[in-house]
Every structure is written in structure tokens, then in C-alpha cells.
Amino acid sequence: MGGIVWLASFPKSGNTWVRHLLHTVIGGERHGINRMDTLTVGDAAAKWYEPLLGKPLGRCSDEEIARVRPEALRSIALQTPGLVFVKTHNALVAHLGAPMIEGSVTAGAIYILRNPLDVAVSLASFQAVSIDTAIDELTRRGALGPTSDRFVYQYFGSWAEHVESWTRRPMRQLHVMRYEDMLERPMETFGALARFLMLSPSRERLQAAIDASSFDRLRQEEEEHGFVERPDTAERFFREGRAGQWKDVLSQAQVQRVVDALGPQMERFGYLPK
């Protein structure tokens, strides 16, 4: 069987963590954070689009990118005869007449979600903006990430829009993971992921992969070697990596803003504060 297995998430929800663990389990050895493209690729990189567009991304409109996106995604799937893991922050929607996720080459998906109250804190640090600005981004329906010289635009939507788009219909080929469960019950949570992918690592090998992919280890590696995916706006990519940090940062009014905008999807996944 071939095709794409999507590693999908709203930004700052644990996608990189899962990618690193998969590299370690499948590769049988620890892969550095700057070598993760040996197994997983991203769907927004310029190299998939510029050959089809015939010009640099910086000179392309969103409409031009949308027109070639399905072919670009098919080219990712065709780069290998087997499965290819593809990181995406796109919602499972269509935009400008084209799907953001190409169904004809999709073999399955892993969806990773995180409490949006913590996502707001992480986004603010990652983008070097205020908490209120991060909440604006988190709750804005139809939110897009801009095209740059390196990446095509992405359709994030609001956190609720993103989560609902991927999880509203139960599918055998979809596996949903919560960031908080990855922290609290890593063996159970990553073991379930391995079974979904029809992998059968030994308990010792899975534990070794969990240890190698711990937040402290990833942060230490970033401090020692840097991380190619860290944007200029962020002091570090691996910042804190804990659940519930919103309780120390957000005001009651900010919490209420998030709940008012995202409440139904938060309730579905156990994120509504008491």
C-alpha cells in the first residue's frame, strides 16, 4: 500500500514530538531533530510547488497556488512506492476551489490536538505576539498562514474549525491523539499509535523511543545544535512542553474569550475548564 499518512494538527499542538518519535521507532535509532526530513516531509514546502508554477513562490497569488496544490500533493505521494508521512497544519477543507488535503493519495491520518488554552500561550511565545493577539488567531474562522519564499499559504481556520474538520466523521483510517495523554500516559498513547500504524516495537524499544523524544531531550538538542524549523520570531522552538500552563498565564477574561469561541469542540475532548 502506498500514499500519504497525514500528521495533522493545529500549530503548536505536538506535531514535531510525534514526528520525532516515529523516526526513532521506525528507524531503530535516534534521529536528530534536524534530520527528521529523512522520514517525514511537510506539505507546504516551496519545492513541491515551484516546478509546477514555473516561478518563485513570492511572485505567486493564492489562486495560482490553489490551482496546482492537488498535483503538488500527488507528487509527494509518488516520491516513494510505500507510505510517506506528511506533516500538515491545514484544516481538512477546500479553499479557492481546491482541497487542502488531497483525498486521492491519502492512506490515513494521525490527528494531534491540544488544549487551546495552552495553544494560545505557546502561539504567543512562538510568534512573539501578545496573548490577546494569539487568541485572535486561535479563534478566527478562515485564518490563513501567508505565503513566503519558502512555504505556500496554509489554511488553519480557528482551532475549533480545524479540529472539527478532521474529527467530525469517525474513520477507520484516522487516529486521534491528545497532547495531554502523550504527557500523562506515553506508553499507552504511543503504543496505540504504533498499533494503528501496524507496527509492533518491543516494549523496550518503544520506551527507548519515548525517552529519546522527551521534551527535555528535544530542548537540550535544540540548545546544542539549533533547530532548522525554528522561526526568527521564536527564542526557542521547544519552550516548556507541559499541560495546564494557561492557568498561570491567562486572565479569566482571556479564558472566557476562548471558551465562548471554541466551547463545543473543547467539550468534546475534555478541555472545558471547571
Residue 182 pLDDT: 92
Helix axes 252-268, 116-127, angle to 10 degrees: 120
Task: Name the grid cell of 213.
Answer: 523524544
CATH number of the domain that residue 83 is part of: 3.40.50.300
CA atoms within 13 A on the CB side of 159: 32
State pLDDT tens for residues 144-182: 999 999 899 999 999 999 999 999 987 789 999 999 999
Rounded CA-CA distance 58/256 in Å is: 39
Residues 6+ positions from 179 with CB-CB distance below 8 Å: 13, 14, 112, 113, 114, 115, 118, 243
Low-confidence stretches of the chain (pLDDT beneath 70): 1, 28-38, 213-241
Residue 28 pLDDT: 57
CB 273 within 8 A of CB 117: yes
Q: How many domains does the chain have?
A: 1
Residue 254, in any domain of the structure? no
Residue holding cell 474569550? 257
Residue 122, in any domain of the structure? no
0.85 exceeded by pTM: yes
Residue 132, in any domain of the structure? no
Give the structural domain span for 90. Answer: 3-115+142-238
